[in-house]
Amino acid sequence: MSTTPAGPPSGPQDVEADLARRRAALVADAQALGEFIAPAHVKAMASEAVSSRVTRIRTRVTEALSPQRLKARATRLVDDARDGDPASLSLLTGLAAGLAILSTVALVKALRR
């Protein structure tokens, strides 16, 4: 990033000109750094990062909850249970037991009225 000429400065005027160029470059770098670390810029960068993360999460959730995907996952779960997969069997058994308990509670409440 050096802005010095190829050879060494030949006199005081060349040295002064080189120093002036270096000072100007340092001032420009300091101003650019100041703008980069300014609170408004940092806030904008953080806001953009959060916004993009929320968009990615929203897209993933929407894709995961699409009806076609849920149907495919349920079909695969039932197929795995038919094949004897213990995790699928336990999940479906738990689901069936939960529905049976829920139905029993609803029936008892309906009969008490």
pTM recorded for the entire structure: 0.41
89, 81 contact by CB (below 8 A): yes
- What residue numbers bound the domain in which 17 lies? 1-65
Question: Among 29, 49, 65, which residue terminates a domain?
Answer: 65
Tally of structural domains, the chain: 2
Per-residue pLDDT, 35? 87
Distance between CA atoms of residues 108 and 65, nearest Å: 33
pLDDT greater than 90 at residue 52: yes
Same domain? For 54 and 16 the reply is yes
Confidence grade of residue 53 (pLDDT, cut at 50, 70, 90) = very high
Same domain? For 72 and 35 the reply is no
Per-residue pLDDT, 66? 83
Cα-Cα-Cα-Cα torsion 44, 47, 53, 56, nearest 10 degrees, comes to -80
Mean per-residue pLDDT, 9-37:
90
